[in-house]
Amino acid sequence: MVVYNIKSLLRKKSFIENKKLTYKDIELATGINSVQLSRLNSTPNYSIQGLHIEKLCRYFQCTPNDLISIYNEIEKYSPK
């Protein structure tokens, strides 16, 4: 299962810049629709273009490994 870490990266960037950032801020900076950003954050295995991955990595100043996490389906249900 592919999961995008947009919410956690947004919190981190907000903390570093000392201001509250939203999906709208990402949309203005990258051109990626805020509705699509919300879907990326809430829908596992949601598919996006490679260009959007690049734009998000540039916005958050991160690598694709920071943006994307991959989990086995079994890990989703295992107790922590």
Between CA 72 and CA 51 the distance in angstroms is 26
CATH superfamily of 2-77: lambda repressor-like DNA-binding domains (1.10.260.40)
Walk along the chain (80 residues) and give the pLDDT tens digit of each residue. 888 999 999 999 999 999 999 999 999 999 999 999 999 888 888 888 999 999 999 999 999 999 999 888 755 545 44
Between CA 76 and CA 33 the distance in angstroms is 28
End-to-end C-alpha distance for the chain, whole angstroms = 18
Q: pTM (2 decimals)?
A: 0.82
